[in-house]
Structure 1
Amino acid sequence: MNEKILLFIPGYNCENQITRVLNQIDSEISKYIDEIIMVNNISSDKTEERVIEFIKQNSQIPLKLLRNTENYGLGGSHKVAFNYAINNNFNYVIVLHGDDQGNIQDLLPVLKNEVYKKYDCCLGARFAKGAKLNGYSKFRTFGNRVYNILFSLVVRKRIYDLGSGLNMYNVNMLKNRFYTKFPDKLTFNYCMILASNYYKHNISFFPISWREDDQVSNVKMFSQAINVLGMLFGYFTKRGNFITSELRENPKAEYTAKVICEGRTSDGE
């Protein structure tokens, strides 16, 4: 039985980058992908128009543009995509951020060698051996490395990245939707790391290339640093009670998105 793989591209105000990201999906990558969803998180720029243009010019690609019902945040967009993968019987979901900082080509060795079959999730790591950073400040590099060490101490496993823009998940690990109460913000991935420890998911890290040039960061470093420390302390002291607690500022009953445009369907119709 062949695996059914979904590629999920979250995006918010990335009109200058999204076409470059979509162009990363070449013939070699396409061999492994059954469907692509670009989830637009209510962008206020021309992100959506750029995706529609791409679909019209590349109608042979099984690409579907979804628009969130409201601005859910990056974590909320993940929930839309994870739920989509579960509801549509995908076996794996790949996450590639729409701001063109990561490169999906870095995932090819994982796909070609079928490494992903051995793990619940394969996570791209900007700070693993063999990774390449371009335009990333020394200050942010240092900060990330410190937090990687802190998380490693708490989960008792070497953590090489807390949340890059290129990851791959086995949908089986997502089916109980443990992620629903996680923050809808950028800290969603931090909770995913802690949850993988609590639920004993088998995770692996692979080196990626990462660059910053014309991207606009949505990270408020100081406030996020404080929030992450609080999150780590909460898990360290409460473990399961923390992971299963309500961690959203504004809990939602559901996360929905509307299909705006699509190329060919995943079954070739």
Structure 2
Amino acid sequence: MRVLIIIPAYNEEENIVRVVNQLVTEYPQFDYVVVNDGSGDDTARICREHGYQLVSLPVNLGLAGAFQTGMKYALEKDYDAAIQFDADGQHRPEFIQPMLDKLCEGYDIVIGSRFVQKKKPLSARMMGSRLICSAVRLTTGKPLTDPTSGLRMYNRRMIRELATRLNHPPEPDTISYLIRKGANAAEIQVTMDERIAGESYLNVTRSITYMLRMGISILLVQPFRGGKFPELSAEQKKVEVVCH
């Protein structure tokens, strides 16, 4: 299995070396690509100086654009699986192989969840997470515990879908939509670290707005979207069955 780690990066000059160097030195069996999302800091320069595998966007497209760029790269290079991996150091690479093992059980999407075996804390943000979980379960029947997790792995069928179709941002409403279309999704328990340097764009106000927007999208927008998954070639299907 050829696995690509997609690392969208926007103004991550303080974190990118630590994140990529750990992958290169401790997990060389996996390929990676940094997608510099038009950063205004030295993220791109640092990646070039270190010789990192880099796709640098000339302008800031946002997470959705950077993520789809990585998926297009995965499709073009014919990868068997791709995983979204944060550039801020919160995602831990030791969970990549367990997620791949789960994917090989026949799933299209595997989510690294903080709450498969652990209880959600009582906070405003987790109340929003519970709202999204309820919306996903109501519309798909799937009891996900952490749909807002950004640590997600996709198989070939999903790579092609996410690389070639519009309106597929890496968000919970897209996961809900894909499940409704027939994608098999699973979760495994993971641990995530706190951001060490830099600042997250999600403050309290943005977090609340985000949760409400996702809930509305899942309940009122995604159920009315149509479309079919693109067909895989016979060789691609064979790889998905073998998964080794």
| TM-score normalized with structure 2 length | 0.80
Alignment RMSD (CA, Å): 2.6
Structure 2 stretches lacking a partner, 5+ long: 228-244
User: Is the Cα contact below 8 Å between 1:10 and 1:98 reproduced in 2?
Assistant: yes
- Asked if residue 117 in structure 1 is aligned to residue 104 in structure 2, the reply is yes
- Residue in structure 2 matching 1:155, options 117, 120, 140: 140
Q: Which has the higher contact order (CA 8 A, sep 6+)?
A: 1
Quote the Cα distance in structure 1 between the aligned partners of 2:131 and 2:150: 19
For residue 40 of structure 1, what is the amino acid of its counterpart? N
Rounded Cα–Cα distance in structure 2 between residues aligned with 1:137 and 1:17: 29
Cα distance in structure 2, aligned partners of 1:97 and 1:165: 7
The answer (yes or no) to whether the contact 1:101–1:165 under 8 Å persists in 2 is no
Residue type of the partner of 2:47?
Answer: V
* Aligned residue in 1 for 2:183: 201
Check 1:69–1:243 CA distance in 2 against 1; reply closer, same or farther (3 A cut): farther
Aligned residues with identical type, % of pairs: 23
- Give me the whole-angstrom Cα distance separating, in 2, the residues matched to 1:158 and 1:212: 26
Q: Give the secondary structure class of the aligned counterpart of 2:192.
A: strand
In the TM superposition, residue 80 of structure 1 has moved relative to its aligned partner by: 0.7
Q: Which structure's residues are more often helix, by fraction? A: 2
Q: Distance in 2 between matches of 1:189 and 1:24?
A: 26
Cα gap change, 1:206 to 1:243, in 2 (>3 Å): farther
**Where in structure 2 are the equivalents of 1:8-87 lying within 5 Å?**
8-25=6-23, 27-31=25-29, 33=30, 35-55=31-51, 63-87=52-76
Q: CA deviation at 1:138?
A: 3.2
Shift in Å, 1:41: 0.3
Aligned residue in 1 for 2:150: 165
Partner secondary structure for residue 53 of structure 2: strand
- Contact 1:52 1:65 (C-alpha < 8 Å) held by counterparts: yes
Shift of 1:27: 4.8
Q: CA deviation at 1:40?
A: 0.4
Contact 2:11 2:41 in 1 (8 A): yes
Q: 1:20 to 1:212 in 2, by over 3 A?
A: same
What is the number of equivalent residue pairs in this alignment? 222
On the 8 A contact 2:74/2:159 being kept in 1, the answer is: no
SS at match of 1:106: helix
1:107-151 deviation digits (Å, cap 9, x = unpaired):
23334xx322121111111222159x9xx9933233223322332
1:70 alignment partner, SS class = coil
Quote the Cα distance in structure 2 between the aligned partners of 1:233 and 1:30. 41
Q: Which letter maps to 2:38?
A: I
Cα distance change on mapping 1:179 and 1:140 into 2, 3 Å: farther
Stretches of structure 1 that go unaligned for 5 or more consecutive residues are 56-62, 245-269
- The answer to which structure has the higher strand fraction is 1
Structure 2 CA distance for aligned equivalents of residues 206 and 76 of structure 1 = 26
Given that residues 125 and 208 in structure 2 are in contact (C-alpha distance below 8 angstroms), is that contact kept between their aligned partners in structure 1? no
Of 191, 211, 215, the residue aligned with 2:173 is: 191
1:176: Cα distance to partner? 4.1
3-state SS of paired residue (1:93): strand
CA contact (8 A) 1:92 1:169 kept: yes
What letter corresponds to residue 67 of structure 1 in structure 2?
Answer: S
- Secondary structure class of the residue paired with 2:147: coil
Change (3 A) 1:197 1:183: closer
Question: 2:115 aligned to 118, 127, 146, which one?
Answer: 127
Cα displacement string for residues 4-39 of structure 1 (whole angstroms, at most 9, x for unaligned residues): 2211111111111112211331555222x1x31100
Task: Give the match's secondary structure for 2:83.
Answer: strand
After superposition, the Cα gap between the structure-2 partners of 1:218 and 1:243, relative to the gap in structure 1 and judged at 3 Å, is farther
1:89 aligns with 2:87: no
Deviations 1:202-247 (A, max 9, x none): 1111112123343422231233233213202224xx62x3355xxx
Contact kept, 8 Å, 1:101 with 1:212, in 2: the verdict is yes
Q: Match of 1:251?
A: none
Secondary structure of 1:209's match? coil
Normalised by the length of structure 1, the TM-score is: 0.73
